[in-house]
Amino acid sequence: MAGKTAEAIVRTKGNTYPGTILPEKSRRAGSPSRKPARIRRRVDWRGWVFMGPFVVVFVFVFVVPVVYAVYLSFFQQRMVGGTVFAGLANYRRLVADTHFWQSVSRVALFTLVQVPVMLFLAAVLALAIDSMKLHGMKFFRITTFLPYAVPAVVSTLIWGFVYGSKYGLVGSVNSLLGTQWDVFNPRVLLAAIGNINTWEYTGYNMLIFYSALSVIPHSLYEAAAIDGASEWQIIRKIKLPELRGSLAITVIFSIIGSFQLFNEPSILQNMVPGNAITTDYTPNMYAYTLSFTGNQSTYAAALAIVMAAITMAIAYTVQISSLKNTMK
């Protein structure tokens, strides 16, 4: 009687509970075979907890402003009716805007000339420091990098006073030599701004190149010297190939920085006589003027989106071409 009672308790509703031994008869008649229990793996949320602050900052600092700018670009501000949805009207207007395309062409010319000159000087300085043949190498390296630590506003003001034909260094040279050099002439003004940018960022790019050169084993130099290689052959066969990766990075950063040109022409605008630097001298200056002076923030948003797309397309093209050259 007790065995039957226990069997009934164990086999309630046809289920067999683990850990209970049933009589032989019960196992034969048996209920359906029990499937092995699945082992559930606990989800480890610690990685997401550590990533959470970064994701929040990334979304609110990067994603939200871009999405909001795209959203604004589909609207227009009108005297009657206020802000209304305009679809692609701002982009169609931008395509036909000659002021915008003139500023883009000016910045493109600036990039094509200034970036190669700056990177060439940075590479030469890095190779000179890496040669270990300079006296006071640490001092030379620090002083070369020092202009990058100076704020762009201060750098522009310094060079603005140097360029002054009446009160600056150029003016003093003109008085001494009887010349009439004018660096603020519209024909050479873009080159003068390029000189400021070159002075500011050559040291920064030099450090990137020097970091790439410093990881090359010195045993390669010693082996090349034993084989009779000259200093120029060591540079051409060993050092320059190692600079390809860092060169791609510096080119991309320099292109992005050139298309963001704003501080230098904006500050020099009040120092240059006449109307040599207009409010649409660069795309960023044009967007700033439209947004804060012309009360056309929606059109400025469309301009910013187009400039971002152009810059990303150029940077992506440079990156792909550099990867192809590296894989050869």
- 26 plus 125 within the same structural domain: no
* 45 within domain boundaries: no
What are 185's two structure tokens? Answer: 């002439």
pLDDT at 25: 47
Of 116, 113, 119, 122, the residue nearest 190 (C-alpha)? 113
* 240 within domain boundaries: yes
- 3 plus 116 within the same structural domain: no
pLDDT at 35: 57
- 23 plus 107 within the same structural domain: no
* 40 within domain boundaries: no
- 117 plus 9 within the same structural domain: no
Which range marks the domain in which residue 27 is found? 1-33
pLDDT at 69: 92
Q: Are 170 and 181 a contacting pair, CB within 8 Å?
A: yes
- 130 plus 217 within the same structural domain: yes
* 186 within domain boundaries: yes
- 23 plus 144 within the same structural domain: no
- 118 plus 3 within the same structural domain: no
- 106 plus 29 within the same structural domain: no
* 84 within domain boundaries: no
Residue 190's SS3 state is helix
Give pTM, 2 decimals. Answer: 0.78
Q: Is 277 exposed, middle or buried (0-12, 13-18, 19+ CB in 10 A)?
A: buried
Q: Are 183 and 165 a contacting pair, CB within 8 Å?
A: yes
Domain count, the chain: 2
- 24 plus 112 within the same structural domain: no
- 229 plus 303 within the same structural domain: yes
CATH of the domain at 263: 1.10.3720.10
- 195 plus 119 within the same structural domain: yes
* 136 within domain boundaries: yes
What are 294's two structure tokens? Answer: 């012309």
Of 124, 276, 125, 253, the residue nearest 193 (C-alpha)? 276
- 14 plus 146 within the same structural domain: no
Sequence-distant (≥ 6) Cβ neighbours of residue 46 within 8 angstroms: none
Q: Report the chain (328 residues): mean pLDDT per 10 consecutive residues.
A: 47 48 49 59 79 91 92 86 85 94 94 94 91 77 88 91 85 85 89 94 93 88 86 87 88 91 91 86 93 88 93 88 74
* 50 within domain boundaries: no
* 241 within domain boundaries: yes
